[in-house]
Amino acid sequence: MNDMSNMPASKGILGLQNPQIEFRKDLFADERDENLNEIGKPVRRQDIEGHVTGRSPFYDDHLFEGLLHMRYVRSPHHHARIRRIDTSAAQGMPGVVRIITSDDVPANMNTLLSLLDFGLDDEPVLSDKKVAYVGEPVVAVVALTEAQARAAVKAVQVDYEVLPHVLDPEEALKPGAPTVCDVYPGNAFVYHGKYNHQKLRYGDVETALKSADHVIETRHQMSPIEQAPMETCGAIAAPEQNGRYVCYSGTQGLFFSLGTAAKVLNMPSSRLHFIGGTVGGGFGGKVDSIHEPLAILGTVLTGKPCKSQWDREEEMQVGAPRGAERWYITDGVMNDGRIVARKFTGYFDAGAYTRLTSYAVIKCVGHLPGPYTIPNVSADVYCVYTNRTPATAMRGFGVTGVDFSIEAHMDQIADTLGMNPIDLRILNAYRDGDMKAHRRTAKNCAFIECCQVVAEKAGVTIKPESKAASSMKDGGGERGQLPAFTATDENGRVEGFEGWSYAKKGGGSATTGSVPSTTTPTPASLPQTPQPIPQPASPAPVTPAPQAPTPQVQSPSPAPTASSPKRRPPTRFSSISGFRRR
């Protein structure tokens, strides 16, 4: 350890005293490059000058002459079937340029991760058959001013048949629960084309629990969290030359947004010019934005620049939050504190559609059972659909919630055993060479050293053997071997999906979690050149919305025929990471 007690505290940019910083160079000295010396220094951010002078460019700074504004008719219900949509009164209102419904969207069904062949398209861009959460968009109104668009939104009449709804993930999985997402009738995402949850099996948990001195169970609940960025989510599109369109966006995932727009608009990405810039706060909430294709669609249909932007109320109501999680953890523990078995059951509340929750579950299970060497581990983790606002990314999503649960659970174990919680953690912590439950060897571990420093700084007395422990010794060997036997099961098995892909529907009998056979027309391509602004016409006739067929879950689904339409192929990783598909 470097003795810095006689060194003056450093001053920041504003001349304020910073807290004392201590560098622990005694730890992992042979693994550290000594040129890493930025901590404790006042380093100037590259973008700070633009921020403090107000010159940083945001998407909303791109104002165009004749810019049109888009507002949305949204569902007031948690769950309802759409009987009909009447836009006739709104069509002739002052300033209204275009009314956009699902019929105007070339590929109206979408899910972000289908770009990577991970999941089925399950969410309509604009709903036409039913709505599954409060605030789901049904109609988009394009007008000369935002006030005129808002007024026209109020004039659109939607006739709803209110349906039963479910807001709790465990209730959503029970027999007889309302079907939230018709693509997944069992209200759970299907993993590997096989199961209604993501499994982890390592060793034999049930046998180990029976041999443990203590079985300790806890339950943990995390609520949804809104990212609440200062800049609300949105995009501005405008025509360019040669049938191309430019889109200025506050998205956090520019190439995800490009791929989504190309897919939803059935348009080659070579016709789309996406420009990102300064993001006025995102924290994960601007990864799966749908503003870009809608703003571009408004531009295509009117020939004018068009802006789609949430106001603050929409950001809070329909902006996708970090999803709620519920965890049940059961441990088998010996009297000396060794954890011999750990069982997880987790529920991720995806809300009404998949978005990024299916991926959060994969991240989560790869993290289990936390930073601890446990010889027997099992997990059943569900991505569940409820009639809540769809969830998305937020800093560390998939890991943050279960980490909280694991560490709160560790404290409960320590309390039950009457043991120092830091000693408990050091005893069970990974050492280099240990085998993790997802069958990877632990390396570069440092949890033990972190615990030791925490105890030192907090004035907590730990056992001599805890003080002497090291992440670099006593690992591997028997601890680095795979279990001789791993108990597996077929719980949660589903049919109707092809097992080799996350994103394909197969034939076979439809049981829990199967997808009824449907026929979807291939979307037409959008026009190659912008169309002139249509003049307000006579009120459009009221068109009843098509009735959604009731899924016959127990009846057999016919196998796909050679004439069945094919899904758009997934965008390759190269397209997402910067190479456009031509």
> Is 22 a residue whose pLDDT tops 70?
yes
pLDDT at site 172: 98
185-223+321-480 maps to CATH 3.40.50.300 = no
Question: Residue 63: which residues within 8 A CB-CB, separation 6 or more?
Answer: none
> Is 8 a residue whose pLDDT tops 60?
no
Collapsing DSSP to helix, strand or coil, 544 comes out as: strand
Position 19 confidence tier, pLDDT thresholds 50, 70, 90: low
Running DSSP on this structure, what letter comes out for residue 13? T
Question: pLDDT for 250-309, tens place per residue?
Answer: 999 999 999 999 999 999 999 999 999 899 999 999 999 999 999 999 999 999 999 999
> Is 507 a residue whose pLDDT tops 90?
no
* Helix pair 421-428, 447-458: axis angle to 10 deg: 160
> Is 407 a residue whose pLDDT tops 60?
yes
Residue 40 corresponds to which tokens in the numbers above? 């404790």
Average pLDDT over every residue of 11-20 = 46
> Is 517 a residue whose pLDDT tops 60?
no
Domain with CATH 3.90.1170.50 in the chain: 59-163+227-317
pLDDT at site 30: 79
Average pLDDT over every residue of 438-454 = 95
User: Taking the C-alpha atoms of 152, 156, 162 and 166 in order, what is their torsion angle to the nearest 10 degrees?
Assistant: -30
Q: Token pair 């039913």 is at which residue?
A: 130
> Is 552 a residue whose pLDDT tops 90?
no
For residue 431, count CB atoms less than 10 angstroms from its CB and return exposed for 0-12, middle for 13-18, buried for 19 or more: buried
pLDDT at site 527: 52
Name which residue leads in pLDDT, 503 or 516.
Answer: 503
Distance linking the first and last C-alpha atoms of the chain:
57
575 phi/psi in degrees, rounded to 5:
-70, -35
> Is 2 a residue whose pLDDT tops 80?
no
55 phi/psi in degrees, rounded to 5:
-100, -5
Position 33 confidence tier, pLDDT thresholds 50, 70, 90: confident
Name which residue leads in pLDDT, 63 or 352.
Answer: 352
CB 287 within 8 A of CB 391: no
Name which residue leads in pLDDT, 407 or 529.
Answer: 407
Average pLDDT over every residue of 187-194 = 95
Share of the chain above pLDDT 90, in %: 75
pLDDT at site 535: 39
> Is 556 a residue whose pLDDT tops 80?
no
> Is 329 a residue whose pLDDT tops 80?
yes
Q: How far apart are CA 149 and CA 160, in angstroms?
A: 22
Domain with CATH 3.30.365.10 in the chain: 185-223+321-480
Q: How far apart are CA 494 and CA 490, in angstroms?
A: 9
Q: How far apart are CA 83 and CA 467, in angstroms?
A: 69
CATH superfamily for 59-163+227-317 is Aldehyde oxidase/xanthine dehydrogenase, a/b hammerhead (3.90.1170.50)
